[in-house]
Amino acid sequence: MYDLSQLSNIERVGGADTPGHALSVQVVGPLADVADGSYGLHIFEMSDPTNVARIGGYDTPGVAEEVQVVGTLAYVADSWAGLQILNVADPTNVTWVGQYDTPGFARGVQVIGSRAYVADSNTGLVVLEVGDPANVRWLGHYDTAGNALGVAVAGDVAGPAPPASRSRCWR
C-alpha cells in the first residue's frame, strides 16, 4: 500500500505477500480482493495499512487473472476454468455460487447490471447473463482480432484489450 497524499513524495506504508502472483486487485472499503493466479482469490483487511492481514479467500479451479466485486459477489476471470462467481458477503467464509466455462481462457471481466463481459483470450469478447449467478447464460460473443486480455465497457460500447496496442471498440 502506498500513501498518495503527497504525489511528489509517494511512500510505501504497508502491504502483504500472497502465495502466488497477484494479477489483479479490487479495493472495496477496507478490503482488498486479490486475483492470485493459481492460488485463487484472497481477501485482505487493510484498515491499518501497517498491518494488512489475509482474512479469507477461495481456491478457484483455474488461474485467477482478474476480479471484480459487485455487492456481495466476486466475479473471477479464471483462465481455463472460465468465469467463477463467489459469495464474499462474509470474507472469512467465501463460498462458490456459480460459474460459466467459457470456450477460451478468461483473462478479464467487467460486470454491469446483470451482464458479465469476459475477455476470453482467443475466443474474444464473451457476454454472459449473470442475473441468476447459479445459472449463468451465454448471450453472445465477438471474435476479436487476436487474443482479448482485458475488457472495458461504457454504455453499449465494449473495448476488449488485445495483446499489443491494437485496441478496437465494438458497439
Whole-number average pLDDT of the chain: 91
Pick 2-161's CATH classification: 2.130.10.10, 3.40.190.10, 3.40.470.10, 2.60.40.10: 2.130.10.10
Residues sharing a CB contact under 8 Å with residue 8, sequence separation 6 or more, in sequence order: none
Residue 133 pLDDT > 70: yes
Which whole-number Å values give the CA distances from 44 to 7, 49, 51, 92, in the listed order?
25, 11, 10, 10
Q: pTM of the entire structure?
A: 0.91
pLDDT at 168 over 60: no
What pLDDT score does 171 carry? Answer: 43
Region 128-157: mean pLDDT is 90
The percent of residues in the chain predicted with pLDDT above 70, rounded, is 93
Provide DSSP, 79-127.
BTT-EEEEE-SSTTS-EEEEEE--SS-B-EEEEETTEEEEE-BTT-EEE
Give the tens place of pLDDT for each residue, 63-104.
999 999 999 999 999 999 999 999 999 999 999 999 999 999
pLDDT of 160 reads 67
87: left (phi over 0), alpha (psi -120 to 50) or beta: beta
**Tell me: the pLDDT tens digits for 3-41?**
899 999 999 988 899 999 999 999 999 999 999 999 999
Structure confidence at residue 107 (pLDDT):
96
